[in-house]
Amino acid sequence: MDKLIDNYIGELVRRKFSDFTVKSYKTDLEEFGSFLQKNGKSDFSDMDRKDIRGFMGELLSYGYKKSSVSRKLSAIKSFCKFLERNKILKRNPSLSVKTPRTDTPIPSFLSEEEIEKMLDFSSMNTELDVRNKAILELLYATGIRASELVNLDLSMFDIRNKLLRVYGKGKKERILPVARAAFETLNRYLSEVRGYRDGALFLSKSGKRLGQRDLQRIVKKAIVKVATLHQMSPHTMRHTFATHLLNRGANLRAVQELLGHESLSTTQIYTHVSIEKLKEEYKKAHPRA
């Protein structure tokens, strides 16, 4: 079992899946393998649909969220395709196993007023102030993920054309426009703090590439000053970016492209945000609401 899992994980690495996905899938499949062994199955070729459903049922009984079970099922389904291609399985037992229906949470986001307050660095006294404002402006201007921001190099910033090249999930490239405010702050950071030498775009105090934990602290500290949300992370800025674009009439497919979403259904969550906000305003304003 371990050898088959390792072979499959090797294929994911060759296909340039993210480190997070590779690690998660490996853990999920090892858990599934242990479940099969505990239930008398010594080989993946012996498994059937009931085994997969039994594994999902056990996870739910242990209190796993449906979203976590769905992710583990995705790993199993992908693994089953691999086993079928390599003649380990005669037929794929996961095809008829349905993914648990999950409630889609409405993501946290900041209002336009809160964003204005957050980005109002009326005095930037230190180099860290200049860097942090550039980071926040860029997150709001582009909607990029935390992992995408910390992996930015200076060479990915086209200063002349005000464009940013990022590599998202599956190493997919996309080109993003950089808004004027973000461009100006980023230019100030480069000229006054970082310099124009090659390497990581955002640096830590020690001069190394900024890490994701550092980025999370910077964003959380900025959000706490202007709002109280159940989620305060770089992803909140991504949610805010998408929500504000749609609220101001942006095309859903254009927002999908900017966010780098594979599926339009992933982007549609932000239309729900807009509808919820609309309902709030309606209740406040309508005399008979």
DSSP string, 134-168: HHHHHHHHH---HHHHHT-BGGGEETTTTEEEEE-
Say what the pTM is.
Answer: 0.65
Within the chain, where are the H helices?
A: 2-14, 19-38, 49-61, 66-85, 112-118, 127-142, 146-150, 180-189, 212-224, 234-247, 252-259, 264-267, 269-285
Please choose, from the candidates 141, 168, 167, the residue with its C-alpha nearest in 3D space to the C-alpha of residue 242.
Answer: 141
Confidence band of 220 (pLDDT split at 50, 70, 90)? very high
For the cut 90, the answer to whether the pLDDT of residue 230 exceeds it is no
Instruction: Single out the catalytic residue among 169, 188, 209, 272.
Output: 169
φ, ψ dihedrals at 166, nearest 5°: -125, 155
Q: Assess whether 169 carries a catalytic annotation.
A: yes
Give percent above pLDDT 70 in the chain: 97
What is the average pLDDT score of the chain? 90
Domain coordinates in residue numbering, the chain: 2-85, 112-285
CA-based end-to-end distance of the chain = 60
Residue 221 is which amino acid? K
For the cut 90, the answer to whether the pLDDT of residue 168 exceeds it is no
For the cut 80, the answer to whether the pLDDT of residue 217 exceeds it is yes
pLDDT score at 102: 67
For the cut 90, the answer to whether the pLDDT of residue 103 exceeds it is no
User: Which of residues 30 and 247 earns the better pLDDT score?
Assistant: 30
Q: Assess whether 65 carries a catalytic annotation.
A: no
Strand 163-167, strand 157-158: pairing: antiparallel
Distance CA 114, CA 277 (A): 15
pLDDT score at 269: 82
* Element of type H or E holding 175: strand 173-177
For the cut 90, the answer to whether the pLDDT of residue 116 exceeds it is yes
Instruction: Single out the catalytic residue among 72, 131, 133, 145.
Output: 145
Q: Assess whether 244 carries a catalytic annotation.
A: no
Instruction: Single out the catalytic residue among 133, 238, 239, 244.
Output: 238
pLDDT score at 104: 63
- How many C-alpha atoms does 210 have within 13 Å on its Cβ side? 25
Task: Write out pLDDT tens, residues 60-90.
Answer: 999 888 888 999 999 999 999 999 999 999 8
Distances, alpha carbon 143 to alpha carbons 84, 255, 269, 275, in Å: 39, 10, 15, 20
Please choose, from the candidates 211, 190, 209, 198, the residue with its C-alpha nearest in 3D space to the C-alpha of residue 137.
Answer: 190
Q: Assess whether 282 carries a catalytic annotation.
A: no
Least confident of 3-12, 141-150, 214-223, 257-266: 257-266
Strand 173-177, strand 163-167: pairing: antiparallel
Least confident of 99-103, 154-158, 267-271: 99-103
Q: Assess whether 64 carries a catalytic annotation.
A: no
Fill in the DSSP letter of residue 190: I
CATH, domain 2-85, list 3.40.50.150, 1.10.3130.10, 3.30.450.20, 1.10.150.130: 1.10.150.130
Instruction: Single out the catalytic residue among 8, 25, 189, 270.
Output: 270
Distance CA 282, CA 278 (A): 6
User: Which of residues 58 and 121 earns the better pLDDT score?
Assistant: 58
Instruction: Single out the catalytic residue among 133, 194, 239, 261.
Output: 261
Q: Which of 21-30, 224-233, 278-287: highest mean pLDDT?
A: 21-30
pLDDT score at 61: 92
pLDDT score at 105: 67
Give percent above pLDDT 90 in the chain: 66
What mean pLDDT comes out for the span 2-31?
92
pLDDT score at 213: 94
pLDDT score at 117: 93
Task: Write out pLDDT tens, residues 242-256.
Answer: 999 998 888 999 999
Please identify, in words, the CATH class of the domain defined by 112-285.
mainly alpha
For the cut 70, the answer to whether the pLDDT of residue 28 exceeds it is yes
For the cut 80, the answer to whether the pLDDT of residue 240 exceeds it is yes
